[in-house]
Each structure stands twice: as structure tokens, then as C-alpha cells.
Chains A and B, each alone.
Chain A
């Protein structure tokens, strides 16, 4: 029951699936590989894909006619569940070669999968803050403070997100808020180990996806994509340092 799709339709499928994997935090290599497989599965003669963290370009050649499409990723949002779903979808497509409409409805179905509600992310922030306080050798006091500061930090980041503040500013605000809140908590709990509490909460701002994908890009020899991620990571790190600096001056 294999369907034959027009070049336009195949290109459209490959571009949108590649776009979603990129947007939800898949590695560059996974995006390129997926799009290439999809094109070749539907019997395109040649498929050329180039992706970096902010855009994807695909060109497909069939019977000497080439067609190309590009999509720009404006804002990445990490959702590894959807990366997994789209990855699985592309595998099934390559095996069963479904019709264009079927693929579109599959994509819609994945896009409508539920996200964790907001309170789960509030809980996660608090949990991470509290756990890292123990992890860095803190006691019960540090754990409680980091738990609460993590709780508040989620709302700070939420406001920054709602105001569509640039990544740099969001990190400055987040780390400044962390340091100030921990300093305030030190008034309530005398002899609180402020360093442990601060680091525990700042771990929340570590760009884990960026670092890991950067390393994965280098493994896959996508040096352009990897290099841009290193620059972004340094950028985020300086923002956090700036936030800490600003609030230390306040002290």
C-alpha cells in the first residue's frame, strides 16, 4: 500500500518534521538524517539537508528538477517527548510510506500531545533547588532555602518568558533574583551557607540541552552547528555571571 507523493509533498513533510525536531531540541545530525531518509524513502534522486540550531534548508532533486525549502526556528523550546515522537513517526513513514494527508494528521496528533502543566514545572524547579543543596553538601536549612528560592525563581522566569525578554536578560534577572533572595533568607536563617544555596539554585539555569547537543554535534562532525552552540553557552554563562555580579554589588 505504498503511496507515491509529489516532490512538493515529500519536501513539505521532510521540512516540517525536520523543523519540529530542531525546534524541540533534537541534535542537528538527527534533523539532517531524518530529512534525508524521508526524502530517499519516497524515491527522491538526491536529498541535501543543511541544519544549524536556528534554521533548516532542504533541497530535493527528482528527474533533474530540484526543489528547495527552508524554515527558520525562531524560538527553541525543549520538549524531548516530542523529539521522540517525531523520531518514531519518521521511522514508521520510512517503513510504510503513508499518504500525505495521513502524515499531516499524524503531525497534528503529536503537536496536540499534552504538556506538563505549569505547576509541575514549579515543582520541578523547587525539587531541583532542594536536591542540589543536599548534593553540594548542604544541610536541612540550605535545602529548605534552595527549595523556596527555586519555587520563586520559576515565577521570575515565567514573567521573563511572558514579556518575551531576550535570553540574555532572562538569565541576568534569574541569577540576580537568586542571589538577592538567598541573601534575604540569610537574615531569617543566621549562619546559612549562602554559597551552597546560591549554587544549588543557579544549577537551574545551566543550559543542559545546549551543552549536550553541542558535544553531540562535534561527534557527528557538524562543526558549524557545534560552534554556534558553544558561543550561545558562553553567552548564557556571562549573563548568569553578570546577574550574580550585579547583586553582589547590592550587598
Chain B
């Protein structure tokens, strides 16, 4: 299983690195951002191995990117989005979206509906995972600030 995970790890790493370059991220942040995408995809693959569900792995890896980005942001003293934006790219379900588009073009209505629902489900799973963790960190930040001012 470990050997199977090597090509996806490297390819996710390079793809995220490429997006980091496009978004003009520099230095240490760029390396950390690249690992964010690779890490999220590894979490996805491991989660996918243990569950039959389509959306749960996306939910868990959505949580993992948010977690990674929040930690990296406080380590490197940079905005969270520097790591989050490139990191989310490998999770975008390109294959599902493309197939949905194809079924739409060829007039396969039921296939299109199915694909659309799947895409929305995956999108919702990723964003809910992300929102959950981001909200927790936001709460922690405001709580610690409130403590300071008291």
C-alpha cells in the first residue's frame, strides 16, 4: 500500500507546488503549501481505504487541509489562505466534474443528474470539513483575545 501511495504523493506535491508558483508564493511558504496539498491527498487515500463511503474521505481530508493550514499559518506567521488555496487543488474532483460535463453534452440526462449530485456532495463534504475546523480555530482565537483584554 505504501508503494502505491508514492506516485500520487509526488504528483500531488508537484501539482500543488505549481499552483503555488502561479499564486506567487515564495520561499518557505511555497514548500509548506506544496506539502499541504500532498498531505491532504494522502489523508484522502488512507480514509478512502477504510471506508466505502464516497463523501467521508473528502470530508476528512477537507478537515486535514484546514488543520494543516492553520498550524502552518501560526508557524510561518502568514495568512491561512497562503497554504489553504494551493492545498485544496488536489481535492477538486476533476474526474467527476468532467464526466458530468460529458454526460450533459451527449444528452444523457439521468447520468448528468447523477454526476451533478455527486459533484455537489463532494463539494459540500470538502467545504463542511474545512468550515468545521476553521470555525474551531476562529473560536479559539477570539476566546484567547477575549481573555487578554479582560
Residues of chain A touching chain B, judged by Cβ–Cβ distance below 8 Å, are 25-27, 30, 78-84, 87-88, 115-116, 120-121, 123-125, 127-128, 130-136, 195, 198-200, 202-203, 206, 208-209, 211-213, 215-216, 218-220, 237, 240-241, 244-245, 248
Contact = CB atoms under 8 A, between A and B. Distances in A.
B108 to A, nearest CB: 14
Given A25-B85, A26-B79, A82-B24, 12 more contacts: A27-B81, A116-B21, A120-B21, A124-B22, A131-B18, A202-B94, A206-B89, A208-B85, A208-B86, A212-B84, A241-B105, A244-B105
Given A79-B23, A216-B134, A84 B15 contact: no
Contacts of A120: 21
Contacts, number: 142
Interface residues on B, range: 35 or more
Interface of B: 7-8, 10-15, 17-19, 21-26, 29, 77-82, 84-86, 88-90, 92, 94-95, 97-98, 101-102, 104-105, 127, 130-131, 134-135, 138
Contacts of B92: 203, 206, 208, 211
A248 B102 CA distance: 9
B123 to A, nearest CB: 8
Nearest to A195: B98
B134 A219 contact: yes
A84 B82 contact: yes
Given A80-B85, A136-B94, A127 B138 contact: no
Contacts of B26: 81
B25 A81 contact: yes
B138 A216 contact: no
B15 A241 contact: no
Contacts of A83: 79, 81-82
Contacts of B134: 215-216, 219
A135 B88 contact: no
Contact of A131 (B11, B85, B88, B138): B11
B15 A128 contact: yes
A128 B18 contact: yes
B40 to A, nearest CB: 12
B81 A26 contact: yes
B63 to A, nearest CB: 13
Contact of A134 (B11, B25, B80, B84): B11
Contact of A80 (B25, B90, B98, B130): B25
A195 B81 CA distance: 31
A202 B79 CA distance: 28
25 contacts: A25-B81, A25-B85, A80-B29, A81-B26, A84-B78, A116-B21, A116-B24, A121-B21, A123-B21, A124-B21, A128-B14, A128-B15, A130-B14, A134-B7, A134-B10, A135-B8, A135-B90, A136-B94, A208-B23, A213-B81, A216-B81, A219-B134, A220-B138, A237-B97, A245-B101
